[in-house]
Amino acid sequence: MEIAITLTISPRLIARLFAATNERGRSFLLSFAAEITVSDDFRQGPLLVDFFEQYLDDHDIAQFLRLTSERYFIGTLERLALNGERMSRRGAVLALGRLSDYQSNSVLGRAMVDLDRGVRTLAEHAIGLVWNRVGLTIHQRRLSAVGEQLDDGDYDRASMLAGKIIQDAPWIAQSWFQRGKAYFHLAQYDAATRDCHQALEINPYHFQAAAVMGEAYEMQHNLVAALESFRRALRLNPNMEEVRARVIQLQRALKNQ
């Protein structure tokens, strides 16, 4: 005689068990889970939510990424980032920024206009990370080096190294943006607008390129073009409060002309 047993397991318990066991133990839990009936709460709330909430409690990003990567494919995370519940979207976006690369650019770009501010904030940081994970390893190293030179204010070297990346891989939007930003700080505003425009042609979600292009146009006293560029940046990333303030100021300035 067979006896059917129905177990009700909370998602929090599953998450804790995953965190506490080794790889072999987690494999057993996954196979065992296929033979049991879980609660309705577990069906409605994916493990990702529990991993994310655990991360919010302990701030252990390494464990969050380990648990998430063991349980979810990148494609699944991308679907959750766009279609999951609020906490699922937050967790998925956080994970994509650390686990994925430029292939998730469009998903993270759409997440930047999510109705939830938390998702938007996480997406803004995540998309900046994946912009540098493109091309060959040597390209990624050079992008990182240019970023450091820009942070250090070494704009001449930054523009030259970014130019080398462009010569070798002109399809990398981030290198066009980096050179455009360097040109802006070197007061070469025409060159800055050209490079930032090219960055946006390759990557239409590059809100930083739109913002720098707006600044360059403003320095050239082309307020109409500056306003349009700032508006474009704001459409891509509504969290840019400084850009929002510039839009309001330029609208007033143009109205009074």
> Which pLDDT score, from 0 to 100, does residue 22 have?
57
User: For residue 215, which amino acid is it?
Assistant: E
Q: Quote the mean pLDDT of the chain.
A: 89
Confidence class for position 33, pLDDT limits 50, 70, 90: very low
User: Over 80: is that where the pLDDT of 7 sits?
Assistant: no
For residues 169-180, give the mean pLDDT. 98
User: Distance between CA 214 and CA 193 in Å, rounded?
Assistant: 8
Q: Which of 203, 165, 162, 166 is closest to 182 using CA atoms?
A: 162
* Residue 193 vs residues 173, 217, 226: alpha-carbon distances, Å: 14, 7, 10
For residues 52-67, give the mean pLDDT. 97
Virtual torsion, Cα 43, 45, 48, 50, nearest 10 deg: -120
- Domains, in order of start, for the chain: 11-130 (no CATH), 137-255 (1.25.40.10)
- The encoded tokens of residue 35 equal 């033979």
Query: Full-prediction pTM beyond 0.85?
Result: no
| Percent of the chain topping pLDDT 70 | 82
User: Distance between CA 178 and CA 139 in Å, rounded?
Assistant: 13
Q: For residue 203, give the DSSP letter.
A: -
At 172, phi and psi to the nearest 5?
Answer: -90, 110
User: Over 90: is that where the pLDDT of 256 sits?
Assistant: no
User: Over 50: is that where the pLDDT of 35 sits?
Assistant: no
> Which pLDDT score, from 0 to 100, does residue 154 have?
98
* Contact predicate 238/120, CB 8 Å: yes
